[in-house]
Structure 1
Amino acid sequence: MGVRTARLEDVEAVTSTQIRAWKFVYRDFMPLGPLEQMTGPAAEKLWRRQWDEAITTPPTPRHRVLVAVEQVIPESESSPAEEDERPGPPDSDRVVGLASHGPAEDPDVNPSTTAELLTLLVDPNHTRRGHGSRLLNATVDHLRDDGFSTVVTWVFADNHAMLAFLESAGWGEDGADRVLDMGRPIRMVRLRTEIG
């Protein structure tokens, strides 16, 4: 298990992980229609292209995509219960989570000192193994190296698991919120933490 910088060959796995995580996490509070639009075949092609660009040609050197990986156990050493539906070749690693970040773009923050955690997702079949914490810690390490002292992120107000996870790591709501029209209003809140 570990975290590393995403590579071009990770694009398919990153896209698949995002789609699977969204379907699992957002199903409890997002209307079905918008969720299907965000995770359907047409959207998947769009996300694949966007992740390809984010990984191979990020907008700035301060934008990064990180992946959490687990080592693939060769078939002869694994039992059927340990097999994943996305097997990899022996002695390789499997992407099981992702995080992306860059300078914050909200008009009320300073992008030279404030970063935004844009994505933090773990495949639903690989939760409760520390991948989210490892991704978050690696993200903070990179952001400190890049000179950031504050990090913000936007979270759906009804995503109680993510809110609890970030709050346990020292994040807190900073009072900013926004409402998305997804067939019905879906509220997001902004969280902030100091890393300086």
Structure 2
Amino acid sequence: MIEERVTGSRLIRTALPAEAPAVAELHARARATYYPDGLPQDGTDWLAVWRAAIERPDGHVLCVVEHGHIVGIASFRTPEGAPADTVKLFQFHVDPEHWRRGIGTELHAACVEEWQADGRRTAVLDVHVDNRRAQAFYARHGWVPDPENPPAEGRHHLCLRYRVPGE
């Protein structure tokens, strides 16, 4: 598990329970960028979701802190029913005001480092079909369409897979 990773003025570390409101706010700002009609109001209490994710003993939430502010987040764990060497990246966001500054690349590298240390060999994720920016980011980092979960008619997400490099 990554305790802390310092890169220049950035610190990548595990998110703290008290940071759930800041994490939830960043999540909302990032998601708002790829919903053409605004964020769906489906009744999800995202603050409660993030509190639970941060406190989950079987999961992990990394955050990127720059100048005292959280500017990137990643949440992952083994999904229900998956092999132990598989991890699912449930959320991966960089604050839109901080895009194109290498934060996502550093956060992705920190995730991969942790997956390697945990003996993970495969990572999976779902990306929103309208989020072309994220799809391009993941493709640049080696993610490919998941052959076990091809796109289905009417689905709002694409399933991607990543082979975690061995050490």
Q: 1:187 aligns with which of 133, 156, 163?
A: 156
**In the alignment, structure 1 residue 69 sits paired with structure 2 residue 65:** yes
Distance, in Å, in 2 between the alignment partners of 1:118 and 1:167 is 17
Distance, in Å, in 2 between the alignment partners of 1:179 and 1:170 is 22
TM-score, with length taken from structure 1: 0.72
Distance, in Å, in 2 between the alignment partners of 1:136 and 1:111 is 22
TM-score, with length taken from structure 2: 0.83
Question: Does the Cα contact within 8 Å between 1:156 and 1:186 map onto a contact in 2?
Answer: no
Total equivalences in the alignment: 155
Return the letter of the residue paired with 2:35: R
Question: Does the Cα contact within 8 Å between 1:100 and 1:118 map onto a contact in 2?
Answer: yes
Which ranges in structure 2 are unaligned for 5 or more consecutive residues?
1-9
| Alpha-carbon spacing, 1:59–1:178, altered in 2? closer, same or farther (3 Å) | farther
Distance, in Å, in 1 between the alignment partners of 2:150 and 2:61 is 25
DSSP-derived class of the 1:147 partner: coil
Large movers: runs of 4+ above 2 Å: 177-180
Q: Which has the higher helix share?
A: 1
Deviations 1:160-194 (CA, angstroms, capped at 9, x unpaired): 111110110111112314669xxxx4431111111
Distance, in Å, in 2 between the alignment partners of 1:104 and 1:178 is 19
Distance, in Å, in 2 between the alignment partners of 1:170 and 1:178 is 18
Distance, in Å, in 1 between the alignment partners of 2:104 and 2:24 is 17
Question: 1:89 is matched with which residue?
Answer: none
Return the offset for 1:125.
0.8
Matched-pair identity in %:
34
Question: 1:160 is matched with which residue?
Answer: 132
Question: 1:173 is matched with which residue?
Answer: 145
Distance, in Å, in 2 between the alignment partners of 1:133 and 1:13 is 21
Q: 1:11 aligns with which of 20, 31, 38?
A: 20
Distance, in Å, in 2 between the alignment partners of 1:36 and 1:142 is 32
